[in-house]
């Protein structure tokens, strides 16, 4: 019993842990960075926009945390490799990976172009997979690690004008299961989080439509939108010892909308 109390007490202590966050300059990424830094983690902020990564790193450091910014294009394999190489040079290991980089384009299905497909799939699905692969190689050497991919409730529910985005997020749920099965023998847990609608850069134009906002809200039993804090709480849980026996799962953080 005494040992269990120690585990419970320290479950969200990420001191001496290195956390790599892609899309770290975005709304969810910023929240994740601050949450893990507040819990003692050393946070690497990776984003395609160097200035955004730097701004989040500055905020984390000003609040007493430890963080480093890195520029990365998750659609380019060499850029991913360079990100992992720099992280290993800075920190010597990667304990936790949070794949948060994502984009979206909303259109009726008949209006999407090949360029739309390539943009969304390359960032959301290709990026998440190959970042997981490259970081996974280091975690295999370490014989431990936690990977959490940011999916979406779009993986389960058909939102109009989101056909390609939904496909990318469903793909994340699928490969999460496979990586979890293949890497369990290396003490690597792979899970994903599926948030509902959050007010971020990706959704602000959609949600400023009052009728659309109210329609979405009416479908959520919890009576409110998801927040970046809700996502961060789930991420902390999945990276903690509390989730050591959880792998290959997707936790949908959406206020009950998927209940139907």
Domain boundaries, the chain: 2-251
The CATH code that applies to domain 2-251 is 3.40.50.720
CA distances from 146 to 1, 33, 123, 227 (A): 26, 15, 21, 23
Looking at residue 1, its pLDDT comes to 43
For the chain, list residues with pLDDT below 50: 1-2
Helix orientation angle between 114-121 and 163-183, rounded to the nearest 10 degrees: 30
Looking at residue 4, its pLDDT comes to 58
Tell me what the pLDDT averaged over the chain comes to. 95
pTM: 0.95
Beta strands in the chain (DSSP E): 18-22, 42-47, 66-71, 96-99, 145-150, 188-195, 250-253
Q: Is 245 a catalytic residue?
A: no
Half-sphere exposure of 39 (CA within 13 A, CB side): 21
8, 90, 165, 197: which is the annotated catalytic residue?
165
């Amino acid at each position: 019993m005494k040992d269990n109390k120690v585990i419970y007490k320290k479950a969200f202590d990420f001191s001496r842990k290195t956390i790599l966050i892609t899309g770290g300059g975005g709304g969810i990424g910023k929240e994740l960075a601050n949450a893990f830094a507040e819990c003692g983690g050393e946070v690497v902020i990776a984003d395609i926009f160097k200035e955004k990564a730097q701004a989040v790193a500055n905020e984390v450091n000003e609040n007493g945390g430890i963080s480093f910014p890195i520029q990365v294009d998750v659609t380019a394999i060499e850029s991913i490799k360079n990100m992992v190489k720099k992280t290993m040079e800075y920190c010597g290991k990667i304990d936790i990976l949070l794949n948060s980089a994502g984009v979206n384009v909303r259109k009726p299905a008949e209006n999407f172009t090949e360029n739309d497909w390539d943009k969304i799939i390359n960032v959301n699905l290709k990026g998440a997979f190959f970042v997981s692969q490259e970081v996974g190689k280091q975690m295999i050497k370490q014989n431990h690690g936690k990977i959490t991919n940011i999916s979406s409730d779009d993986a389960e529910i058909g939102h109009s004008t989101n056909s390609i985005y939904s496909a990318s997020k469903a793909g994340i749920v699928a490969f999460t299961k496979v990586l979890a099965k293949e890497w369990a023998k290396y003490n690597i847990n792979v899970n994903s989080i599926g948030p509902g609608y959050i007010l971020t850069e990706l959704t602000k134009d959609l949600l400023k439509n009052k009728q659309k906002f109210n329609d979405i809200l009416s479908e959520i039993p919890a009576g409110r939108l998801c927040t970046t804090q809700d996502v961060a709480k789930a991420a902390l849980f999945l990276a903690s010892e509390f989730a050591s026996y959880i792998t290959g799962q997707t936790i949908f953080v959406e206020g009950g909308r998927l209940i139907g």
